[in-house]
Structure 1
Amino acid sequence: MPVAWPSRANPRLLVELQYLLHRHIISSVIPAALLALLVVWTLDDASNPWPLRLWGVAVIASKLFSAWVGRQQLRRGVPLEDARRNVLWLIVLNAIDGAVWGGLAWVTLGSSTLTGSILVVSVIGGIAGSSMSSLSPVFPAFVAFLVCLLAALASKLWTLGDPAYDALGVAGVLYAASLLGQSRNSAEAARQAITLRFENVELIERLRQETTYAQAQRQAAEQANVAKSRFLAAASHDLRQPIHAQGLFLGVLGRSALSGPQAEALANARATWQASAEMLDTLLDFSRIEAGVVEPQRRAFALQPLLHKLELELAPQADAKGLVYRSIDTEAVVNSDPSLLELVLRNLVSNAIRYTEQGGVLVGCRRRTDHWLLEVWDTGVGIPASQHQAIFLEFHQLGNAERDRRKGLGLGLAIAQGLARALGHPLSLASRPGQGSVFRLTLPQASAALGMAAEDGWAALPEGEDFEVDTALNNVRVLVIDDDETVRAGMRQMLTGWACLCDTAESIEEALALARVRPPGLVISDYRLRGHRTGAEAIAALRAELGDTLPALLVTGDTDPARLREAHDSGVALLHKPVSPAQLHQRMQGVLRAAAQAATPPVT
C-alpha cells in the first residue's frame, strides 16, 4: 500500500508519526554530537582548523535545535489542523541537517589523507543509514535529509575529477536508492502499526461503550423484572382478597337449603371461582419458585397412581376437544416429591391438551438403565427449534397474540421447568412444527419394595366444596386477624356454621385485647396487616401472651418472593388465598391435632 504524503494522510496518523520521529531524534542527539566531536578531533588540521570546527558546531546546533522542537511538540501536542504544515517544517529542518552533515565532504575531502577520506565517506554513509531508521516515520523528511546529504557529497566528489571518486559517487546513488526503499517499507510498517493501534483503541472504546450499554440494559431489565414481580405480587394480593372472601361466602351458601335453580347458579358461581383460583394459584406456583421456598420432600413411590389420577382429572378436558387421552400403565417406582412431580406433569399434560386440536395426548414411562423417562406426547401444532428455549420463559406463548385466557397465562412450562430443576429431574423437549411435541422428564429409579411401602401415603387436600363437617371443631374459639372487613365477615359466617366460636380483629392490638378477655384455641391470621405489620408478628405476640403452644395458621395472598420467604421462614403453618372451605377445614383439624399431640405427655 503506498504511503500517502502529506495531502491524503489521516491527520491523526500524521501526528502520531511526527511524535515517533521526534522521539527518535531526541534519542539520537548525544550519539550524533559524540560522533561529530570524534570526527573533529580525528581530522583536525592545525594549519586550517576553523572550517572543521565550525562544521562540528553546526552539526551539534542542528541536532539540539531539532531535539528542542521535538520536545516542545511532544509536551504541547500537535493540533490536527497543523499536522500537514508540521510535515513541511520537518522537511525543511531535516534538509538543513542533511546539508550540514554533507558539508563534511566539502570541509575535508581533497585536503585530508586517504585514511581521513575513508573516515569521512564512512561517517556520511553511516549517518545516512542511521537517519533512515530514525526519520522513516515521516518519509518525506528522510527524503529531504538524504537528498541534501548526497547532493553535498556528490557535488564535492564531482569537483575532485578523480575516476575513483566518480565511482564512489555512483555507489552512493545506489546506496541512497536502497535506503529509500528500506525507508519506504519502514514508514509503511510504522503507519500500519499506528493504524492498528487506532483500530484497537477504537475497538476497545466501542467494546467499553457496548459493555456500558449492555450493563445499562441489563440493569433496566432487572429493574423491569423487579417492577413486574412487584406489580404481579400487588395485583395478585389485591385480587386474592375478594376471591378468597367470595369462596368463603360460596361455602356458606353451599351449606344452605337451596332450590334447584339456586343450586345450579351456585354450581356455576363455584366453577367461575375455581377458574379464577386456578389462575391465581398458577401465579403463586411461579412466585414460590422465584422465591426459592420450594423444598422437595423426596421419597419412593409408584408412578401409576399419579398417572391414573391425572387421567381421571384431565381426560374430560381432552374429551371436550374431541381428543384421545391415554396413559400407559407402568410399574415404575421413582424417587421424587409426589406433590411437586404431580404439578410438573399436570402442567405438561394441560399444555399438551391446550395446544392440540386433533389427534390426542399420550403419557407413558420408559425404563432406562438406572432411571425412568416420563414422556408426554401430543399431536399438536409443534414448536419451532428457534422457540425451544423461549417457551420455558414466563408469560411466553405461541400462537396466542390475542391473549385468550382459555390458553392460560403462559406460565405452565416455566413452572414445570422450575420445579423440575428444583427436583433435579432434567426436562427436555423434542418437537416438529405441524407434527407435535414430546416432553421428557428424567426420574431416578427406586426399588419396588420402597414404592409399595410408600404408596399408602399418597393423598391430597380435598378440592371439592361438599365435605362432611365433623365435631372436631365444635366450640373451638377461633381468633381471626385480617384487615379486610369482607374476609372477616366471610370467616365469621363460615366458622360459625362449623360450630366454632369466632372472634375477629383487624390489628395486633385488637387481637391482644380480645385474647386477654376470651383466650382463643386457634388463631388464623392474614400475613399482611396494616401499618407494615405481619401475621407472624401477631401470632408471636399472642404466643408470648398465652403460651408457645397456641395453635395458629397464617393465610396469605402475597406472591412477592421476599414476602413468601418471610412467611415460609416464620415456621407457622401457611395457606395461600384463595383458600377453599375444604382446605381450611382440613388444615384447622391438622393444626389442632398436632397441638394436642404435642401437649400430651409421653407414655413411660
Structure 2
Amino acid sequence: MDEPSAHWTDRLDASVRDAVDHLPYGMALFDPALRLVVGNATYRKGLALPERLMASGTSLDDILLFIARRGDLGPGTAEVLAQQRKRLITSQSRTLTRRLSVMGSHLEIHTSRGPDEGLVISFSDITDRIRAESALAQINHTLEERVADRTRALTLVNAELEKARAKADAANHEKTRFLAAASHDLLQPLNAARLYTSTLQERARGTSMAELATAIDASLNAVEEIMSTLLDISRMDSGGLKVSFARFNVMDLLRKIDIEFQPLAREKDIELRVVGASFIVRSDRMLLARVVQNLVSNAIKYTRPGGRVLVGCRRRGKEVRLDVLDTGIGIDRHQHQLIFAEFSRLEQGARIAQGLGLGLSIVQRILKAIDHPLEIESVVGRGSRFSLTMPLIGRAEEPVAGPATAPAQTLAQFTGLNVLCIDNERSILDAMAGLLENWGCEVRVAVSLKEISQASMLEGWVPDLVLMDYHLDQTSGLDAIEWLKQIVGGHLPAILVTADRTQAVRQLAEARGTAVLSKPVKPGALRALIAQTTRRN
C-alpha cells in the first residue's frame, strides 16, 4: 500500500494527531488519493475496523469493501455496494447519512471534500437521540390516542347532553302546551263563576247577602290573578315571550288603561286620572300594555280609599317617559330591589292586599326583553312613582285628546241593547246572559254559528253588539264575527272574549278592528268596553 504524500504527512504533527484522537466523535482524514492519513480510536471502534485498516496509507476502497462485505451497506454484491458508496462520497462536496452499525449503534456520518481534494469522514453516535426521538414519538402517539379517546368521550357526552337538552326542550314545550290548554279549561269555569258572582252582587246590593257575594268575588279575583301571573311566567321561562317592535301612539294604550281600570278605581274610591299627549313611540305594544297594566293594578291595590293614581306620559329629549304615580303606602328605598323578586312581598303591602308577589317580577322580565329602563321613586306613607322610558319617534300628525275619565255607568244605560253572545260553554252563556239582562240588555246566546242558523236567531232581530268567544268548536271567533257581519249586512260592533292571552290573538284581533276582553271577565271592564264599543256613555 502506498504511503501518503509527504505534503499531507508533514502537515500533521504529533499535537494535531493527539487532538484528533481525543475528539468525542469518530474522525478520519484522507488525502486527495483517498488514502488514510489519520483516524482516531473512536472512528475505528465506531466502524469496528481491524487494526490493519487503520494504518496510515490504507485506501478508502479497502475500508469500504470491508464494511460492504460485512453487510453494513445493505444487501447486494460487496464490490458494487462499495463503489456506489465511493461515488456518492467523491461526487459531492458534502454528504450526510445515517446507518446502524454492527454494534447496534445509530451513526450519523458526515463527509466533506476540502479545497485540496482531501476527504474528511466523521460520524457521531446518535443512539441516545434516536431513542429520545422514538420515546417522544411514542409519547406523542400515546398523547394523540389519549386526546382521541378524550375527544370521543367528550363527543359522546355532548351527544348525550344534546339529547338531554332536546328532551328538556320537548318537555318544556309540552309543559307550555299543557299550561295553555289547562289555562283555557281552568279559566272557562272561573269565568262563569265570576259572571254568576257579579250578577249575585248586583242583585244582592243592599241586602244581607251583599257582603258574602263580595267576599266570593274577591276570592275568585285572587284565583284569577294567581293563575294569570303563573301562566305569564311559564311562557317567559319556556321562551314563549316573543318581542315584536312597532310604532304606535302611546295615547291609544293610555285610553285602554283608563277604560280597563276606572271601574276598579271607583270601586275602591280612588281617583284615577290618565293624562298625556299623542307621542309616536317604538315598543312592543302588547308587552308594554302588560307592564303598564301591572303597574296601574299595583298602584290601585296599594292605595287606600280616597287616594289618587295618576298615569301619564311626557317627552324627555329623544324619549318618552311614562309615569304611574300613586298616593299609596310607599316603599322604603332599601327594599326597592326586593319588590322585583318572585314571591316577595313587603309586610305592609301584604296586610293591605292579597297576592303572590309576582307582578313586578313579570314587569322586570318584560322591560328587560324590550329594553325599557325603569325608575322608582318612593316615600313611605306618601306614595310611589314608577317611570319607564321608550324611544320617541315623533308626535302624532293630528293631536288626539287625552283619555277622559269615563262617567260612572248605571245599570240603565244598556236598556234595550241587543247583545248576541257566542261561547262553546253553555254555563258561561247562562252566566253572561244573567249579567247582561240585569243591565237591561236583550240577550240571545248560542254555542255555534250552526245553532244561530238552525234557530233563525237573526230573523227579525239585529244585534247591536256581539260578545264572541275565540276558541269555538268549528271555527275561530274572529272568522265567526266576519260571517255575522255579512249576515246582518253592515257594521257590527264586536268584542272578542277569550281565555287565550297570546300576543298573536290580540294582534290578529287588532288588525280586524275587534276589541279584546280577557277571561275571566271583570264586569266593570266589560261595562266600560261595551260603552266604548257601542258609544253608550
Instruction: Please indicate the TM-score interval, normalised by the length of the shorter structure.
Output: 0.5 to 0.7
Q: 1:534 to 1:470 in 2, by over 3 A?
A: same
AA aligned to 1:228 is K
**Residue aligning to 1:578:** 520
CA contact (8 A) 1:345 1:416 kept: no
Residue 517 of structure 1 aligns to a residue whose secondary structure is coil
Q: 1:349 to 1:492 in 2, by over 3 A?
A: closer
1:499 aligns with 2:440: yes
**Distance (Å, rounded) in 1 between the aligned partners of 2:106 and 2:247:** 94
Aligned match of 1:408: 356
- Within 2, Cα distance between the matches of 1:591 and 1:214? 54
The answer to whether the Cα contact below 8 Å between 1:483 and 1:507 also exists between their aligned partners in 2 is yes
Structure with bigger gyration radius: 2
- The whole-number CA distance in structure 1 between the counterparts of 2:84 and 2:437 is 132
Q: How far 1:577 sits from its partner (Å)?
A: 0.5
Compared with structure 1, are the counterparts of its residues 226 and 378 closer, same or farther at alpha carbon in structure 2 (3 Å cutoff)? Answer: farther
Match of 1:418 in 2: 366
Tell me if structure 2 keeps the 8 A contact 1:481–1:525.
yes
SS in 2 for 1:181: helix
**Is the 8 Å Cα contact of residues 282 and 412 (structure 1) preserved in structure 2?**
no
Return the offset for 1:246.
Answer: 2.1
Q: Write the deviation string for residues 361-399 of structure 1: whole angstroms up to 9, x where unpaired.
A: xx9x99987668899964566869xxx9xx78xxx5569
Amino acid paired to 2:431: G
2:216 aligned with 1:269: yes
Task: Report the equivalent of 1:182.
Answer: 129
Deviation at 1:509, TM superposition (A): 0.6
Whether the 8 Å CA contact 2:179–2:231 is kept in 1: the answer is: no
Task: Give the structure 2 partner of residue 208 of structure 1.
Answer: 155
Query: Which residue in the other structure is 1:482 paired with?
Result: 423
Structure 1, unpaired ranges of 5+: 1-42, 56-98, 132-144, 153-166, 318-330, 355-362, 430-437, 595-604
Higher helix content, 1 or 2: 1
One of 504, 510, 514 as aligned partner of 2:451 = 510
Question: Secondary structure of 2:208's match?
Answer: helix
Once the two structures are TM-superposed, the CA of residue 257 in structure 1 deviates from its matched residue by 5.1
**Is the Cα–Cα contact under 8 Å of residues 417 and 427 in structure 1 kept in the other structure?**
no
* Per-residue CA distance 1:113-167 (angstroms, 9 max, x = gap): 99959959x9xx955x1x6xxxxxxxxxxxxx44457699xxxxxxxxxxxxxx9
Superposition TM-score, scaled by structure 2 size: 0.58
Query: Contact (CA 8 Å) 1:234, 1:558: kept in 2 or not?
Result: no
In the aligned structure 1, how far is the partner of 2:84 from the partner of 2:449? 116
Displacement of 1:569 in angstroms is 5.7
CA distance in 1, matches of 2:496, 2:84: 113
CA-CA distance at 1:555 after TM superposition: 0.8
Q: Distance in 2 between matches of 1:350 and 1:589?
A: 22
Runs (5+) with no aligned partner, structure 2: 1-59, 108-119, 269-275, 302-310, 325-330, 377-384
| 1:37 alignment partner in structure 2 | none
- Deviation, 1:527, is 1.0
Deviations, residues 471-510 of structure 1 (Å, cap 9, x unaligned): 455242x221112111111121122222222111112211
- 1:546-565 map, 5 Å: 546-547=488-489, 549-559=491-501
Query: Judging changes above 3 Å, is the alpha-carbon distance between structure 1 residues 538 and 588 closer, same or farther for their aligned structure 2 residues?
Result: same
Match of residue 535 from structure 1: 477
Give the direction of change, closer, same or farther, for the CA distance of 1:296–1:427 in structure 2 (3 Å limit): farther
Q: Which of 526, 531, 538 matches 2:469? A: 526
Which residue matches 2:199? 252
Change (3 A) 1:588 1:368: closer
Aligned mate of 1:101, from 55, 72, 94: 72
Instruction: State whether structure 2 residue 402 is matched by structure 1 residue 457.
Output: yes
The residue type paired with residue 591 of structure 1 is T
Q: Which residue of 1 aligns with 2:487?
A: 545
Aligned to 1:34: none
Alpha carbons 2:409, 2:527 under 8 Å: kept: no
Out of 588, 593, 596, which is 2:530 matched to? 588
| Higher deviation after alignment, 199-208 or 483-492 | 199-208
Q: CA 1:593 to 1:100, structure 2 compared with 1: closer, same or farther past 3 Å?
A: farther
CA distance in 1, matches of 2:319, 2:417: 52
Residue type matched to 2:223 in 1? S
**Which has the larger strand fraction?**
2
1:146-157 matches, within 5 Å, as 146-147=101-102
The letter of the residue matching 1:581 is P
Alignment counterpart, residue 243 of structure 1, candidates 190, 207, 225: 190
State whether residues 197 and 213 of structure 2, in contact with CA within 8 Å, keep that contact through their aligned partners in structure 1.
yes
Change in Cα spacing, 1:188 to 1:257, as seen in structure 2 (3 Å) is closer
Compared with structure 1, are the counterparts of its residues 550 and 367 closer, same or farther at alpha carbon in structure 2 (3 Å cutoff)?
closer
Instruction: Give the distance between the partners of 1:226 and 1:482, measured in 2 at CA.
Output: 28
Q: Which amino acid is the alignment partner of residue 457 of structure 1?
A: G
| Offset at residue 270 of structure 1 (A) | 2.4
Q: What's the % identity of the aligned pairs?
A: 27
Structure 1 partner of 2:15: none
DSSP-derived class of the 1:256 partner: helix
Give 1:348 deviation, angstroms.
6.7
Alpha-carbon distance in 1 for matches of 2:358, 2:467: 33
Deviations 1:267-317 (A, max 9, x none): 22222232233334435766598255796744479x9xx9xxx9xx99xx9
Between the two proteins, the alignment pairs up a number of residues equal to 416
1:279 aligns with 2:222: no
Return the alpha-carbon distance in structure 2 between the equivalents of residues 416 and 457 of structure 1.
Answer: 27
Relative to structure 1, the CA distance from residue 294 to residue 103 in structure 2 (aligned partners, 3 Å threshold; closer, same or farther) is closer
Which residue is equivalent to 1:72?
none
The change in CA–CA distance for 1:213 and 1:517 in structure 2 (over 3 A counts) is same
Please state whether the residue corresponding to 1:269 is helix, strand or coil.
helix
C-alpha displacement of 1:520: 3.2
Report the AA paired with residue 552 of structure 1.
A
Pairwise CA distance, 1:244: 1.5
Q: Deviations over 1:414-463 (max 9, x none)?
A: 344314643x413589xxxxxxxx9984455899x99xx77x5245889x
